[in-house]
Amino acid sequence: MGKKVLITGGSGLIGRRLTQMLLDKGYEIALLSRKKRNIPSVQVFEWDIQKGYIEEGALDNLHFLVHLAGTNVGEGRWTEERKKSILESRTESIRLIARKLAEKQIKPAAFTSASGISYYGQDTGDRKNTETTPAGSDFLSHVSIEWEKAADEIAALNVRTVKLRTGIVISKDGGAIPKMALPARFGLGAPLGSGKQWLSWIHLDDMCRMYMEALENESWQGAYNAVAAPPVTNDGLTKAICKVLHRPQWLPNVPSFALKLVFGEMAAVILGGSYVVNERIERETGFHYQYGELEDALKAELS
């Protein structure tokens, strides 16, 4: 049996693909879930964050830990209750694991946590954001800041910790791309808002390979911008999707006021953008992107 990897949020887009890729490499995979499920070749342990409960055996023989759990930011209006869920599902979940690890005196070899490029702000214009750029001050920035602080509670147990600030994930199975591709397939693709907002992206397989590298390579530590290069504007992404699908883009931009009426405060996710660069990945690691060009990434998923 290979080394054991415990994953929170394993049912999400990244979690499902990462689980399969780790299984393919011979790892033993365990997931934490709110409900018992049968998944081939995977151990599923129950946990309840509110009750402070993790099923016995989940942390036994633990070698690597991956934290992906979190309420989907892009679904539903941002009521105060939903904002609370978005924050606490990311922070209180990993704090619970930190407490249990300390109680049981268990020390994983490495821990990798998701974070978001929203750390720098929901809309940072043309500013180039590197890992040393100061954090923003809006809601999603606050979420990412607190997310990383919670991850640091694992680091405080003397566990090598990596935080991957993730951009838009290119995948046909979830996230933003299927939602943008659907109207484009019918010749109805259109940029959102000004269309000038920057979008920093990464293909799903590259994202999962980055998680694996962060676990396995002892030189990785701290925060990294998990994006490919270069970023693209919303208009550029729409054009690229239409090109890959062999569909025209002829509609005018969807106006900002219409998006705000439909989505409320959450429209900031759609209308904002950040030019984020993968400075540490490029300068400090030997990581190789399988999909370094946007069109190649889109073809792999949409063709």
Every domain of the chain and the residues it spans = 4-235+262-302
pLDDT given at position 119: 97
How confident is the model over 76-85, as pLDDT tens digits? 788 999 999 9
pLDDT given at position 131: 98
Q: What is the pTM of this model?
A: 0.95
Residue with tokens 């792999």: 300
pLDDT given at position 1: 63
| Token pair recorded at residue 187 | 């010749």
pLDDT given at position 266: 66
Report d(CA 116, CA 140) in Å as an integer.
8
| pLDDT in 10s for each residue of the chain, 303 residues | 689 999 999 999 999 999 999 999 999 999 999 998 899 999 999 999 999 999 999 999 999 999 999 999 888 788 999 999 999 999 999 999 999 999 999 999 999 999 999 999 989 999 999 999 999 999 999 999 999 999 999 999 999 999 999 999 999 999 889 988 998 888 888 888 899 999 999 999 999 999 999 999 999 999 999 999 899 999 999 999 999 999 988 788 888 877 777 677 767 777 789 999 999 999 999 999 999 999 999 999 998
Please, are residues 244 and 299 in contact by the beta-carbon 8 Å criterion?
Answer: yes
Q: What is the CA radius of gyration of the chain?
A: 19
Helix and strand counts by DSSP (H, E) for the chain: 10, 14
End-to-end CA distance of the chain: 37
CA angle in degrees (0–180, nearest 5) for 188-190-192:
140
Torsions phi, psi for 208 (to 5 deg):
-70, -40
Please, are residues 119 and 125 in contact by the beta-carbon 8 Å criterion?
Answer: no
Q: Give the fold, CATH level 3, of 4-235+262-302.
A: Rossmann fold (3.40.50)
Sign of the Cα pseudo-torsion (204, 134, 264, 189, in order)? negative
Torsions phi, psi for 21 (to 5 deg):
-65, -35
Report d(CA 275, CA 123) in Å as an integer.
9
Which letter, b or e, does each residue of 202-241 get, where b requires 16 or more Cβ atoms within 10 Å of its Cβ?
bbbbbbbbbbbbbbeeeebeebbbbbbbebbbbbbbbbbb
Q: If residue 292 lies in a helix (H) or strand (E), which one and from where to where? A: none
